[in-house]
Amino acid sequence: MHFRIQVIAVADDGPEQLHEIANVSRDEPTLGTLGLTLEESKQILQQLQHTIVDKQVAGYLDQQRACPACGKPRQLKQSEPAPFHTLFGLIPVPNPRWRHCACQAHTTTTFRPLAALLPERTSPELLYLETKWAALLPYGVTAKLLHEVLPIDHQHSTATVRNHTLAAARRSEEGLGDERAVFVAGCQAEWDRLPIPAGPLSVGVDGGIVRARRDPTGDTTAHLFEVIAGKSILAFRRNDPDDVPPSSKCFALVRSVDPKPKRRLFELLDAQGMQANQQVTFFTDGGETVRTLPAYLHPEAEHLLDWFHLTMKITVLQQCARGLAKPTAVQPDADTADDVSLERCLGSVKHYLWHGNSASALDRLEGVADALEGWGGDEAGAPPPPRNEAAARMRKYVRELATYIANNAPYIVNYGERYRNGERISTSFTESAINQVVSKRMVKRQQMQWTPEGAHLLLQVRTQVLNDDWEATFRTWYPGFRPVPTSVTPALLAA
């Protein structure tokens, strides 16, 4: 059997034009030959795109040909096609040069009318899909996938995908307002007059480290840079039905290159409808830079140390305690009470912290550190043998945890009571925001090394994709992009 695939172009005033775009032949059908192959679909799509784009551009040029002042057609100086990159192939479009009409004065003698229609040479559909995929997958994988399923230009490389993604991110960054030290506006009397706010807003902010591209100067400290990521969870909106899940939005930034970290976080909360009379709680991981970010964003916000981060640190110590070489291995007569009490002590540190009692937690940690000091030594206090490096390391971790708790004491609250009252004690029980937003695209692929700027820009696209906002951003740049509902009528369904 033979299939001829044609397109009929119907002009607004009626005339129709038929274009052959492809021929498909099939012998006896088998499971392997039924329907179109991927390769055939790519060729058909490319031919179809070519036909439609060509007609649209020709129609546009026809409309523009007459001089807007006197109506005389402008003279053609020269015509050669220009490349237009689309999701369905590289399409050569007519790109004539016309002489300006002599009826008016002009600074140039000729111009290209296509420049007004196509100020960019890549279609938004292509730009959208490649940047969206690149936010979720490595640049190289994105390029491979696009080539696999679509007839895009064979020269569209990993570098093209990266450049387009970073350019789109820069464009999005230009839309961000100015940085300020304080975002709280108004006074109590004004806030009291605000409408009843939506449910409590919980905002988690974490810091993480990303490995940087090797610096030619050999400066080792430049190999790592700090990334801050967070998410904001709105418990409910007043008019939403009960079964609507809480709205959650994320943000991320690279501290060393972001001139507007507070503005970025403020815009995220503003987009979720934050009001000055709303209950807002910031949960941070306890890091210095992370803790200062949400200051002065909301008049009455609570600032808490995130329970997930606190309890993770104790879990790590408990694992260390279990892994310690037991003194009984070399002292068969010794009591095993030491290691038992280590774990028990750490358990009570956690218990005190759960109830917001950081002073008692610090006392207990001091006891753990003391126990570790003589770990494995005999009763005469002989120096610990080399096998107790693990104990020394754990002792260091215990000291670090004590410093961490002391620094964050004002933000350690009675988590148990909050929990019983049904209030949030963490924004993430299973994963940190850093892991969800940053690590899955960046840290785990160790062979990929980032520049701080490249990482920051990619994160701006990634967070908008994760927040389901990227398409809306494109709509602000390209009016008419992806109208809803779609303008395609399936012929078979319409018949």
Question: Does residue number 111 form part of the binding site for Zn ion (CB under 5 A)?
Answer: no
C-beta of 101 vs 325, nearer to Zn ion: 101
What span, in angstroms and rounded, lies between the C-alpha atoms of 205 and 309?
11
Q: What's the gap between Cα 259 and its chain centre?
A: 18
CB 310 within 8 A of CB 414: no
416 to 475, contacts with Zn ion by CB under 5 A?
none
- Least separation in angstroms between residue 101's CB and Zn ion is 3
C-beta of 62 vs 373, nearer to Zn ion: 62
What span, in angstroms and rounded, lies between the C-alpha atoms of 165 and 137?
12
What span, in angstroms and rounded, lies between the C-alpha atoms of 303 and 281?
6
Helix or strand run (H / E) with residue 97 = strand 89-99
Preceding peptide of 119 cis, ω within 30°:
no
C-beta of 69 vs 494, nearer to Zn ion: 69
Among 70, 115, 187, 340, binds Zn ion (CB under 5 A): 70
Task: Tell which phi-psi region holds residue 303, choosing left (phi > 0), alpha (psi between -120 and 50) or beta.
Answer: beta
Question: Does residue number 66 form part of the binding site for Zn ion (CB under 5 A)?
Answer: no
Pick the piece of the chain touching Zn ion (CB under 5 A) from 61-69, 179-187, 286-294, 419-427: 61-69
Pick the piece of the chain touching Zn ion (CB under 5 A) from 94-102, 240-248, 273-281, 354-362: 94-102
What span, in angstroms and rounded, lies between the C-alpha atoms of 84 and 92?
6
Among 66, 103, 330, 337, binds Zn ion (CB under 5 A): 103
Question: Does residue number 100 form part of the binding site for Zn ion (CB under 5 A)?
Answer: no
Tell me how many residues contact Zn ion (CB under 5 A): 5
Pick the piece of the chain touching Zn ion (CB under 5 A) from 29-37, 70-78, 407-415, 473-481: 70-78
Question: Does residue number 64 form part of the binding site for Zn ion (CB under 5 A)?
Answer: no
Pick the piece of the chain touching Zn ion (CB under 5 A) from 103-111, 143-151, 265-273, 425-433: 103-111
C-beta of 102 vs 209, nearer to Zn ion: 102
Among 67, 129, 145, 184, binds Zn ion (CB under 5 A): 67
- 101-136 as b/e, with b when 16 or more CB fall inside 10 Å? beeeeeeeeebbbbeeebeeebbbebbbbbbbbbbe
The C-alpha torsion from 279 through 283 and 289 to 294, rounded to 10°, is -10
- Least separation in angstroms between residue 77's CB and Zn ion is 16
What span, in angstroms and rounded, lies between the C-alpha atoms of 74 and 95?
14
Question: Does residue number 69 form part of the binding site for Zn ion (CB under 5 A)?
Answer: yes
What span, in angstroms and rounded, lies between the C-alpha atoms of 364 and 342?
10
- Least separation in angstroms between residue 115's CB and Zn ion is 19
Among 24, 36, 101, 222, binds Zn ion (CB under 5 A): 101
- Least separation in angstroms between residue 69's CB and Zn ion is 4
What span, in angstroms and rounded, lies between the C-alpha atoms of 318 and 368?
11
Q: Looking at the chain, how many residues does it have? A: 495
- Least separation in angstroms between residue 68's CB and Zn ion is 8
- Least separation in angstroms between residue 80's CB and Zn ion is 25
- Least separation in angstroms between residue 75's CB and Zn ion is 11
What span, in angstroms and rounded, lies between the C-alpha atoms of 400 and 202?
28
Question: Does residue number 494 form part of the binding site for Zn ion (CB under 5 A)?
Answer: no
Question: Does residue number 316 form part of the binding site for Zn ion (CB under 5 A)?
Answer: no
Tokens representing 372 are 């570790």
- Least separation in angstroms between residue 13's CB and Zn ion is 25
Residues with Cβ within 8 Å of residue 165, at least 6 apart in sequence: 130, 131, 134, 135, 139, 457, 458, 461
Pick the piece of the chain touching Zn ion (CB under 5 A) from 69-77, 135-143, 266-274, 366-374: 69-77
Question: Does residue number 99 form part of the binding site for Zn ion (CB under 5 A)?
Answer: no
Interface with Zn ion by CB under 5 A: which residues?
A: 67, 69-70, 101, 103
